[in-house]
């Protein structure tokens, strides 16, 4: 039995994180400049290697923390990419995750060590290996999840307005949403707590601020809510 293990070709296991952020107007992707000699303009997803002593989930959490300084954020396994020639250096299987972060939270903790930048999904640079395929799959998954479950709130600050929330969903789905229908639908979930504060940046009258009812959010997270239904 041991001989059979020893005869197998070594295969590296990488973990790549598709990190989405929202800046109030656009959905963005966090990328790092690889700085490889062949092409210094090649960007990649943030990632690292699985070690012998950790699970995939532990490795994903560790790598994300090492690269962004963030803990306890939304992180979900997406897919395993294992084409034989996906990495020209050595046979490597990559387990991809997608994460949702508030851009403001990230900017407070960013380290210049990794030369990371946010890019609009509409203006992505050249990406390493099959990372563009990973991003495309992550966008599809995000759209499906956001239409059925309240994961969009993970991309917002603690306090937000209904118009800000609508902007987020329009950015995720790349479409314009009817204001009245969206407001009615989102308020009918009873996931939001209306505050006595107003955000006055958009108009003199201002818009009331809301925050997520954390207890109901946890209870209803796996419920199908059809956020994008008309």
* Domain segments of the chain as ranges: 2-148, 150-220
Who's near 94: CB < 8 A, 6+ residues apart?
13, 14, 15, 16, 47, 80, 81, 82, 86, 87, 130, 134
Q: What does CATH list as the number for 150-220?
A: 1.10.10.10
In the chain, count of helices (H) and strands (E)?
7, 9
- Confidence (pLDDT) at 112: 58
Q: Are 27 and 121 in contact (CB under 8 A)?
A: yes
- Confidence (pLDDT) at 229: 55
Q: Is the pLDDT of residue 230 over 60?
A: no
**Residue 223 to residue 221: CA distance in whole angstroms:** 6
2-148: which CATH number, 3.90.79.10, 3.40.50.10950, 3.60.140.10, 3.40.1360.10?
3.90.79.10
* Pick from 123, 207, 129: nearest CA to 162: 207
φ/ψ of 183, rounded to 5, equals -60, -45
- Confidence (pLDDT) at 199: 80
Kind of pairing, strands 43-44 and 27-33?
antiparallel
Q: Is the pLDDT of residue 37 over 50?
A: no
What mean pLDDT, rounded, does the chain reach? 87
């Amino acid at each position: 039995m041991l001989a059979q293990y020893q005869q197998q070709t070594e295969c590296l296991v990488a973990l790549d994180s598709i990190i989405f952020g929202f800046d109030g107007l656009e959905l963005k992707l966090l990328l790092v400049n690889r700085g490889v000699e062949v092409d210094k303009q090649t960007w990649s997803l943030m990632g690292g290697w699985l070690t012998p002593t950790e699970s995939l989930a532990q490795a994903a959490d560790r790598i994300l923390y090492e690269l962004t300084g963030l803990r306890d954020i939304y992180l979900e396994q997406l897919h395993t990419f294992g084409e034989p020639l996906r990495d020209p250096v050595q046979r490597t299987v990559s387990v991809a995750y997608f994460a949702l972060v508030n851009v403001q939270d990230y900017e407070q903790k960013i380290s210049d060590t990794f030369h990371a930048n946010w890019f609009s999904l509409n203006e992505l640079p050249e990406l390493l290996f099959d990372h563009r395929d990973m991003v495309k799959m992550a966008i599809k998954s995000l759209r499906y999840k956001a239409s059925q479950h309240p994961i969009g709130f993970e991309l917002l600050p603690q306090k937000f307005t209904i118009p800000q929330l609508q902007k987020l969903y329009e950015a995720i789905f790349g479409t314009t949403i009817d204001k009245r229908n969206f407001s009615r639908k989102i308020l009918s979930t009873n996931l939001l707590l209306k505050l006595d504060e107003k955000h006055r940046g958009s108009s003199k009258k201002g818009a009331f601020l809301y925050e997520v009812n954390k207890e109901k959010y946890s209870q209803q997270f796996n419920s199908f809510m059809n956020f994008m239904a008309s």
